[in-house]
Amino acid sequence: MDKEEIKKELEKPIHREKTCPLLLRVFTANNGCHHCMDEFSHGNVSSSKLQIYTWMDATLKELMSLVKEVYPEARKKGTHFNFAIVFTDIKRPGYRVKEIGNITPGKKGTNNAMTLQSQKFQIGDYLDIDITPPNRALSPSGHMRPC
């Protein structure tokens, strides 16, 4: 397959009634930053773990809605969700993090429709979501501060 065929294959819509969902392990934090990679390496990630069955075409907005069902405090107007993929690094031992987008419920944004598939999420990766309450400010760039 050439690059164009691969791209078309990746963009095919997923028929959710015929496609088996994947198990997505989601870790949430509400401290203004994502979990430190050492926490993943040593198995010390906090107990804020969710297991969600979903598909590769799941959008960040859809995933945010699922998280809000579990955490009522995340339903407050103006709460900010910052998403990152945590994956093992094949070049060196340990984990790496890739911020993929952030959304605020009720506000339209380009990240709302972003899918796991479009961000090259691989089955086995984790999703780390920092949930920032409305009364905490983000950095001027809109990104979370590092751990």
Residue 6, class by beta-carbon neighbours within 10 Å (0-12 exposed, 13-18 middle, 19+ buried)?
exposed
In a domain, residue 69? The reply is yes
| Structural domain that includes position 91 | 20-132
Number of domains the chain contains: 1
142 versus 123: which is more confidently predicted? 123
Closest CA to 131 of 43, 9, 42, 33: 33
Q: pLDDT for 6-34, tens place per residue?
A: 444 456 678 788 888 999 999 888 766 77
In a domain, residue 6? The reply is no
Is residue 81 predicted with pLDDT exceeding 60?
Answer: yes
Q: pLDDT for 58-69, tens place per residue?
A: 999 999 999 999
In a domain, residue 14? The reply is no
In a domain, residue 9? The reply is no
In a domain, residue 66? The reply is yes
Is residue 51 predicted with pLDDT exceeding 90?
Answer: yes
- The pLDDT-based confidence of 144 (bands split at 50, 70, 90) is very low
In a domain, residue 111? The reply is yes
In a domain, residue 12? The reply is no
Query: What CATH number does residue 95 fall under?
Result: 3.10.20.550
In a domain, residue 139? The reply is no
| Mean of the per-residue pLDDT values of the chain | 80
